[in-house]
Amino acid sequence: MKRFILLFLIIRSSVFASDGVDLANVRKKIEKQNNGFMTGTLITSMEDNWFYGVNYYKKDGSFKKLITLKEREEIIEKFGDRRRWFVTKWQGKQPAIYVSASYNGNYDLENNLQAKDLKDDYLFYFKNYCEFDGIVDTRYARIKKMRITYYDTPYTAVNNMMNIKISSNFKKIVSYDIDLKEDDKIINAMQSFKPVKSSTWYGNIFAIQMKVLEVYPGEKDMPLCTSDYYMGYKGWGSYEDVLKQIDELPELKGKRNPY
């Protein structure tokens, strides 16, 4: 019995350690990009290939600016339409993906009333499937059960208040286990999260860990595939409106399907 308890504690501590490494990478990326919303490649605990969230491709994102350069064709080939999270060896593991956002320490709604729930003003969506050239590929595995965990930390600014600086580790606030129906396609993953009083004048950054607990298996040996992860303000438009900003380039239609 003692041996079993010790083994459980070792496994549990290793899981927490893994999450800690991921969250440290989230912190580094936020500081490097100088943006509470991660806009480049997303942080995951495991993936087959690197990929981007929706923010990278929307109208004010980096990709739209890059394809105006003379190296357009090379940029399209290398960075275009990489919006799908492929995980091949998910069996027996719990792959996780992270998004993040910032909010003011004295967080107010537009009518100057103190916000009671950040769910009222933020969006976190993804597609629980993958499509290519407008056709859903049903061979891939999809998420059946997931755990949404919120982490939070205050931030400040350095270099004449020009750069975000996170001085402490993310602190776990709350978790939700969520079951998805087999025919659920567009997932609204944002859950209730109360703003945390900040210890700095600038405010806080929250990170959301979405961990896959169970899957609907696809065809034999096919990986888990989900897509179009988006974290943003409601004021930027609905998830559907933001997706309309992504013009799928003709050069890439169906090209990124590795199976």
**Rounded mean pLDDT of 137-141?**
96
pLDDT reported for residue 202: 81
Query: d(Cα 153, Cα 143) in Å, to the nearest integer?
Result: 28
CB 125 within 8 A of CB 245: no
pLDDT reported for residue 16: 57
CB 227 within 8 A of CB 86: no
Report which DSSP code applies to 47: -
What average pLDDT does the chain have? 86
Per-residue pLDDT tens for 61-71?
A: 899 899 999 99
Query: d(Cα 205, Cα 231) in Å, to the nearest integer?
Result: 13
- pLDDT over 80 at 178, yes or no: yes
Per-residue pLDDT tens for 7-32?
A: 333 334 334 567 999 999 999 999 89
Per-residue pLDDT tens for 114-127?
A: 458 899 999 999 99
- pLDDT over 50 at 110, yes or no: no
Q: Who's near 123: CB < 8 A, 6+ residues apart? A: 188, 190, 230, 231, 232, 233, 234, 238, 239
pLDDT tier, 104 (very low <50, low <70, confident <90, very high otherwise): confident
pLDDT reported for residue 147: 98
Give the ranges where 141-217 is alpha helix by DSSP (H). none
CB 125 within 8 A of CB 133: no
CA distances from 59 to 62, 122, 190, 242 (A): 9, 19, 23, 9
